[in-house]
Amino acid sequence: MNLKWLMLPFLCFIIEADHEVKIGAIFSFGTSNGKVARIAMEAAVRDVNSNPSLLSGRKLALTLHDSNYSGFLGIIGALQFMETDIVAVVGPQSSVMARVLSHLVNQLHVPLLSFTALDPTLSPLQYPYFIQTAPNDLFLMTAIADIISYFQYKEVVAIFSSDDQGQNTIAALGDKLAERRCKISYKAILPPDEPISNRDLIAAELVKVASMESRVIVLHTLSTTGLKVFEIAQELGMMTSGYVWIATPWLSSTLESTSVSPKVASSIQGALTLRLHTPDSPKKRAFSSRWNELSNGSIALNTHGLYAYDTVWMIAYAVKEFFDHGGKITYSNDSNLNSFAGETMNLAALSIFDGGNQLLSYILKTNMTGVSGPIAFNADRSMSRPSFDVLNVVGKGLLRQIGYWCNYSGLSVVPPESLYAKPANRSSSTQRLDQVIWPGKTTKRPRGWVFPENGRPLRIGVPRRVSYRAFVSEEEGSGVVHGYCIDVFLAALKCLPYPVPHKFIMFGDGHKNPSYSQLVNMITANVFDAAVGDIAIVTNRTKISDFSQPYIDSGLVLVVRVKKIRSIAWAFLRPFTPLAWGVIAAFCLVVGTVVWILEHKFNDEFRGPPKKQVVTILWFSFSTIFGAPRENTVSTLGRIVLLIWLFVMLIITSSYTASLTSFLTVQQLSSSIKGIESLVTSNEAIGYQVGSFVENYLFEEVNIAKSRLVPLGSPEEYADALEQGRVAAVVDERPYVDLFLSTYCGFQKVGPEFTKSGWGFAFRRDSPLAIDMSTAILQLSEKGELEKIRNKWLQRKVCREESSAADSEQLQLKSFWGLFLICGVAGCFAVLVYFCSMLHQFRRHFPELTQPSSTCSTSKTRISRSLRLKKFLSFVDDKAEISANRLKRKRMEMETNDH
């Protein structure tokens, strides 16, 4: 009996051990998040164990290990857990440790769940036993990218810790910004260690950030490091108006769980931050009301506490499913570790959890509603419907909610759960946040960028032109720059909502026009910050610089010499080609003959001796050129033919008048160049303006040999080269050509513009000023200011000899062939109908001549045919009244013979 009583405590221990389900937790419990997580997990274990039926009489046993900011200690703790046969591990706190421990749990089949190690690159394919029980940082970076895009910022500076989670998360931010045509312009990397010893390093990085152009800063680091960054930033004057600070959820969780000093509170005023969204629910309110009792008032609850509580419950529900489906907690030795038996670390004691894969599958099938809201996993193991609260730090470290973000519909001012029943809509018109109080306690949205190097004046390169100085020029000795391009630039600056300190720096030697491509290249070389002038926006330049909206349209055109047509005696014949004149004359005769045929039998004006009738035909034919003829037409067919012909002559005479006027008044080209096509096929020399892109364009794009290209430096050289025939044409941009033609009147543009472009202001790549200047130029255009500036400098004087008409050309026969065809068909048809009608009347009047006799000989038949033809021609030639009288007389004779 004594032996039994002595063995009883040992047996109870064995029975109790068999009824425990062991789980572990690895955290740095000295941090605020670690403290909150510890309290929440212990509360969850007690709540689970308070329901004996949940785990079929078994109880959860939680073992805690403090990694104390050390990855090495975290690994040691995990090894100790594995020796005690646990079924799951909660943690670790950082993604660096999660990556290392995942290899361990993969080997031993123990699920590892973390709500803080949210590195988006922790792939379930590589780490199948690692589960993120909160939305990973890919969704966080998507939310931040949407906020940056919502406020229309194009560049940001990222400050982050140089660990895996910091680097991978910021890389994800860069990808999401690129999708929205934004970018990270600078990355400030901080050490992941305790920041107290790295104050100088933080200050040095912030000084670099302050010298950057972008004023939008994303801060992603540890809470202790982050608060130190804000403190030093305030000392450097970086928490004033003009700056935009966006902190990741470390800031919201710190402010929720701990109180900060007034100095720290003032340093973070105006910053934006995010917080994992946890919808209001009875469970959440009940747990929040218990928190003071659970924590003894030592620390406030934050979202990490909610997710820690739910993570333990996820394990509990999965264990319940595991047991309900007949699972047993058993372990087997890992043969790979047998070689370590007898070593100090006793790695051979580690064993594989036989039911680990089954328990993992039940965890991934979780579908519950916890204190943090609905919990479920997508097919890729990400949390279903991730969402965040968007917060603004105001007052003494208080958090003011200004909206929400969810992966379903983006930014809104209503809770995400109210949007899930509606169709997803992420259009820009539906994205909305409440008003923000920015650093400096202003509600005006910061511009988000400043000029580099602490706002020094913008260095603007201006071409020192030798010719066409109306576009841009410098007053001798004064250094004052003026001209059309300068006035447009200064007017656009006045439209900007902020001042732009600047200074003009002339570029060029003053002896010839500078190379504009070289001027743009000097922006890339950091010699200039921008370039202002008559700079064409062409492909090669847009590859290295950003351009504003064009403020004047441009394009390449051809200019050639023109001359006045000589007044010659036969100039009136020039409108038509000889063939056209011949066809018109022939048709006049044909139409006169047709009308004579149709009118001869019925109209006395078309009768008489043969000589008179020939004269009538000729007179009638050519009198139609000048209008309706003197002779009247009485037949229907004759009137139809005449009407059609008069319409044809109306078109011909109108065209003749217009063409002759053009020939006598319009200047004619002195060369065969009609456009770019004829210029390319010729072998003549071509002039271009020194310094422009025309030379490269003609050589590279149009394939014109450089030996044909002649550089010209001024309008005077243009005129001289064209007059002397040294060049057949000059190729230049339309604004220059218009100005040239306003002074030199013996020249003319030929052909259409064969390129389309414009002039704009050049800036550094991705400069926000390029976008703002484009908006300003559009405003000037809408108000009519651009036209006023253009009229001031480029008012064109119209030469007396200049005409806007195009080149005159002789009228070809093909221009009228349709009219002649209609007229010819109508005439032939009328003659055919007329002769058919005459034949019908002839047969009716002379039936005896139209019936052939079968008894007649061949010679008599020939005589009768000849007689019939003569009778028919005589019938046609006779006037209609004479034919009727003869017919009446013949009938009377026939009646007398019968009696």
Distance CA 826, CA 803 (A): 41
pLDDT in tens, 750-805: 888 888 889 999 999 888 889 899 999 999 999 999 999 999 998 766 564 444 44
890 contacts: CB under 8 Å, gap ≥ 6: none
The single-letter code of the amino acid at 636 is T
Distance CA 87, CA 21 (A): 7
Rounded to 5 degrees, φ, ψ at 748 are: -155, 145
Distance CA 776, CA 759 (A): 15
Distance CA 805, CA 662 (A): 8
Q: Counting beta carbons within 10 angstroms of the beta carbon of residue 94, is it exposed (0 to 12), middle (13 to 18) or buried (19 or more)? A: buried
Instruction: Report CA-CA distances (Å) from 33 to 93, 254, 302.
Output: 9, 8, 8
**What tokens were used for 555?**
């394009």
pLDDT at 333 over 60: yes
pLDDT at 648 over 50: yes
Tell me which residue of 527, 468, 547 sits closest to 518, measured CA to CA: 527
- Map residue 126 onto helix, strand or coil: coil
Distance CA 472, CA 466 (A): 10
Give pLDDT, residue 683. Answer: 87
pLDDT in tens, 585-603: 787 777 777 777 777 666 6
Distance CA 238, CA 650 (A): 84
Give pLDDT, residue 670. Answer: 52
Distance CA 229, CA 252 (A): 15
The answer to whether residues 133 and 313 touch, using CB atoms and an 8 Å cutoff, is no
DSSP 337: G
pLDDT in tens, 711-730: 999 999 999 999 998 999 99
Give pLDDT, residue 274. Answer: 97
Bridge-based pairing state of the strands 530-531 and 502-507: unpaired
702 contacts: CB under 8 Å, gap ≥ 6: 676, 680
Region 144-156: what's the mean pLDDT? 95
pLDDT band for 892, please (50, 70, 90 cuts). Answer: low
Give pLDDT, residue 240. Answer: 93
Bridge-based pairing state of the strands 729-733 and 556-563: antiparallel
Give pLDDT, residue 578. Answer: 78
Of the ranges 74-88, 189-203, 800-814, which one carries the lowest mean pLDDT score? 800-814
Is residue 92 reached through a cis peptide bond, with omega within 30 degrees of 0 on the bond before it?
Answer: yes
What domains can you pick out in the chain, each with its CATH number?
Answer: 20-134+281-376 (3.40.50.2300), 137-278+386-430 (3.40.50.2300), 571-665 (1.10.287.70)
pLDDT at 343 over 90: no
Rounded to 5 degrees, φ, ψ at 759 are: -105, 140
Q: Counting beta carbons within 10 angstroms of the beta carbon of residue 640, is it exposed (0 to 12), middle (13 to 18) or buried (19 or more)? A: middle
- Map residue 55 onto helix, strand or coil: coil
H helices present in 610-726, as ranges? 610-623, 636-665, 676-681, 694-696, 715-724
Give pLDDT, residue 766. Answer: 81
**What tokens were used for 267?**
């340093």
pLDDT at 65 over 70: yes
User: Using CA of residue 539, residue 540, residue 545, residue 550, what is the dihedral sign?
Assistant: negative
Rounded to 5 degrees, φ, ψ at 33 are: -65, -35
Using left for φ > 0, alpha for ψ between -120 and 50, and beta otherwise, residue 364 falls in alpha
Please provide the distance, in angstroms rounded to a whole number, between the alpha carbons at the two ends of the chain.
180
Region 70-78: what's the mean pLDDT? 76
pLDDT at 653 over 80: no
Degrees, nearest 5: CA angle 396-397-402? 115
- Count the neighbouring beta carbons within 10 Å of the beta carbon of residue 311: 29
The single-letter code of the amino acid at 133 is T
pLDDT at 14 over 60: no
User: Using CA of residue 297, residue 301, residue 307, residue 310, what is the dihedral sign?
Assistant: positive
Q: What's the farthest any 2 CA atoms get from each other in the chain?
A: 181
Region 36-65: what's the mean pLDDT? 93
Q: Counting beta carbons within 10 angstroms of the beta carbon of residue 201, is it exposed (0 to 12), middle (13 to 18) or buried (19 or more)? A: middle
Of the ranges 338-342, 466-470, 638-642, which one carries the lowest mean pLDDT score? 338-342
pLDDT band for 8, please (50, 70, 90 cuts). Answer: very low
Degrees, nearest 5: CA angle 632-638-644? 100
pLDDT in tens, 95-122: 888 998 999 899 999 999 999 999 999 9
pLDDT at 53 over 80: yes
Distance CA 729, CA 721 (A): 9
pLDDT in tens, 293-324: 999 999 999 999 999 999 999 999 999 999 99
pLDDT band for 882, please (50, 70, 90 cuts). Answer: very low
- Count the neighbouring beta carbons within 10 Å of the beta carbon of residue 151: 15
H helices present in 156-302, as ranges? 164-179, 199-210, 223-235, 250-257, 262-267, 282-295
3-class DSSP string for 510-578: CCCCCCHHHHHHHHHCCCCCEECCCCECCHHHHCCCEECCCCEEECEEEEEEEECCCCCCCHHHCCECH
The single-letter code of the amino acid at 95 is S
Of the ranges 584-593, 614-623, 640-649, which one carries the lowest mean pLDDT score? 614-623
pLDDT in tens, 456-485: 789 999 999 999 999 999 987 777 999 999
Q: Which residue is listed with tokens 């096929």? A: 681
Give pLDDT, residue 580. Answer: 76
* Strand partners of residue 450: none
pLDDT at 691 over 70: yes
Average pLDDT of the chain is: 84
Distance CA 555, CA 550 (A): 12
- Count the neighbouring beta carbons within 10 Å of the beta carbon of residue 73: 16
The single-letter code of the amino acid at 125 is L
- Map residue 588 onto helix, strand or coil: helix
- Map residue 353 onto helix, strand or coil: strand
pLDDT in tens, 496-546: 988 888 999 999 988 899 999 999 999 999 999 999 999 999 999 999 999
pLDDT band for 130, please (50, 70, 90 cuts). Answer: very high
Distance CA 790, CA 488 (A): 9
Proportion of the chain above pLDDT 90, given as a percent:
52
Give pLDDT, residue 601. Answer: 65
Give pLDDT, residue 876. Answer: 60
Give pLDDT, residue 835. Answer: 74
Give pLDDT, residue 869. Answer: 66
Give pLDDT, residue 265. Answer: 93
Rounded to 5 degrees, φ, ψ at 127 are: -125, 75
Region 131-137: what's the mean pLDDT? 96
pLDDT band for 444, please (50, 70, 90 cuts). Answer: very high
Distance CA 432, CA 413 (A): 6
Give pLDDT, residue 346. Answer: 59
Distance of CA 670 to the CA centre of its chain: 46
pLDDT band for 276, please (50, 70, 90 cuts). Answer: very high
Distance CA 258, CA 387 (A): 24
Question: Which range in 348-352, 409-413, 678-682 is most confidently predicted, on average pLDDT?
Answer: 409-413
Give pLDDT, residue 75. Answer: 79
